[in-house]
């Protein structure tokens, strides 16, 4: 296994990271500590409707692509959204019902656009690969094969339509492409964000240089979070290594009840505030 060489020339320990873990660290070290290190884990605020909606759409599409090809129809997609539906975090029954209808429409239109020929190589696939000083891993929403190459696809259901720049700048997609290449042994480079509410696809064709750039940024964050985590595990509490990063994101933070700085930074967002309009 490839690794970082220590002073004695002995390979150092690779840091195992998911894109979610790296993003959590970059957004706020204190939140990272509460999410991954504090035990027992501090209590979290309740469910958010946008997260519930995203999970429903992901689960419905996973179930859809597990069906035999002949059964993959828009009508079946509508049924699957209904079967996967949850109302956690919505304001009331009316709002949940409205969004269930929207989700059914989004997914039906999406699979209609894909057409009957869409046959992914993998759905909700865990990929993992050592690269540089890290082991990059995570669950990819979908992996397609097009013109002989593997394409990493990520579903989005948030308020903002995905752009090509979003796909280019997504460290998660780049790390998935790197890990997919090694896990499934195929060429990768193209990454896509599929925004179901708008039907917009943000896409980027990475070359080796742009993938390397994302990996280097991931290595930097991974080294920081590992150094901080080591102080925590050494038993001094490591509080100074996990400073709060107050900002607009505190409105949404599930640990804000435990964070005076975050409470000062932004008022709490309603559980349904992140829903696509
Ligand atoms: S409320 Fe803000 S500063 Fe506090 S842990 Fe959450 S994100 Fe960090």
| pLDDT tens-digit series, residues 142-194 | 999 999 999 999 999 999 999 999 999 999 999 999 999 999 999 999 999 99
pLDDT of residue 2: 39
Distance CA 97, CA 106 (A): 14
pLDDT of residue 10: 45
List Cβ neighbours of 78 (8 Å cut-off, separation of 6 or more). 104, 107, 108
Helix axes 93-114, 74-84, angle to 10 degrees: 150
pLDDT of residue 11: 52
pLDDT band at 42; cut points 50, 70, 90: very high
Out of 48, 262, 264, mutate this one to test ligand 1's pocket (max ligand atoms within 8 Å of CB): namely 262
- Tell me: pLDDT of 8 over 50: no
β pairing state of 188-195 and 149-156: parallel
pLDDT band at 115; cut points 50, 70, 90: confident
pLDDT band at 4; cut points 50, 70, 90: very low
Query: Whose CA is closest to 151, among 205, 104, 75?
Result: 205
Q: Is 249 in the pocket of ligand 1 (CB under 6 A)?
A: yes
Query: Whose CA is closest to 158, among 113, 193, 191?
Result: 193
pTM of the model: 0.93
What the block records as the tokens of 175 is 């790390």
pLDDT of residue 238: 62
Are the C-beta atoms of residues 164 and 195 closer than 8 Å to each other? no
Out of 34, 48, 239, 249, mutate this one to test ligand 1's pocket (max ligand atoms within 8 Å of CB): namely 249
Element (H, E) at 208: helix 208-231
- Phi, psi values for residue 129, rounded to 5°: -160, 140
| DSSP letter, residue 30 | H
Taking the CA of residue 259 as reference, the ligand 1 atom at the shortest distance is: 4
Q: Is 259 in the pocket of ligand 1 (CB under 6 A)?
A: yes
Using CA atoms, how far residue 67 sits from 75, 129, 157, in Å, is 13, 29, 22
Taking the CA of residue 262 as reference, the ligand 1 atom at the shortest distance is: 1
β pairing state of 200-205 and 134-146: unpaired
Cα–chain center distance at 171: 10
- Tell me: pLDDT of 267 over 60: yes
Distance CA 254, CA 270 (A): 12
List Cβ neighbours of 10 (8 Å cut-off, separation of 6 or more). none
User: Looking at per-residue confidence, does 83 or 9 come out higher?
Assistant: 83
pLDDT of residue 234: 78
Q: With H, G, I as helix, E, B as strand and everything else as coil, classify residue 205.
A: strand
């Amino acid at each position: 296994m490839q690794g970082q060489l220590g002073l004695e020339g002995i390979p150092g320990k690779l840091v195992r990271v998911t894109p979610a873990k790296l993003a959590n660290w970059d957004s706020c070290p204190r939140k990272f500590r509460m999410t991954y290190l504090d035990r027992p884990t501090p209590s979290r605020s309740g469910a958010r409707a946008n997260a519930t909606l995203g999970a429903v759409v992901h689960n419905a599409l996973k179930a859809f692509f597990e069906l035999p090809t002949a059964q993959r129809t828009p009508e079946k997609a509508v049924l699957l959204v209904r079967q996967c539906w949850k109302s956690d975090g919505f304001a009331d029954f009316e709002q949940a019902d409205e969004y269930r209808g929207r989700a059914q429409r989004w997914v039906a239109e999406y699979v209609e656009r894909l057409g009957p020929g869409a046959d992914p190589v993998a759905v909700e696939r865990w990929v993992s690969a050592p690269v540089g000083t890290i082991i990059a891993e995570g669950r990819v929403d979908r992996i397609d094969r097009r013109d002989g190459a593997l394409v990493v696809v990520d579903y989005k259901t948030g308020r903002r339509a995905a752009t090509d720049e979003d796909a280019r700048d997504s460290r998660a997609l780049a790390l998935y492409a790197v890990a997919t290449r090694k896990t499934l042994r195929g060429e990768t480079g193209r990454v896509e964000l599929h925004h179901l509410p708008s039907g917009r696809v943000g896409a980027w064709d990475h070359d080796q240089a742009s993938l390397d750039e994302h990996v280097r940024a991931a290595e930097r964050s991974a080294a920081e979070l590992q150094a901080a985590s080591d102080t925590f595990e050494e038993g001094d509490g490591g509080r100074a290594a996990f400073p709060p990063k107050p900002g607009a994101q505190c409105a949404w933070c599930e640990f804000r009840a435990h964070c005076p700085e975050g409470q000062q930074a932004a008022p709490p967002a309603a559980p349904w505030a992140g829903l696509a309009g």
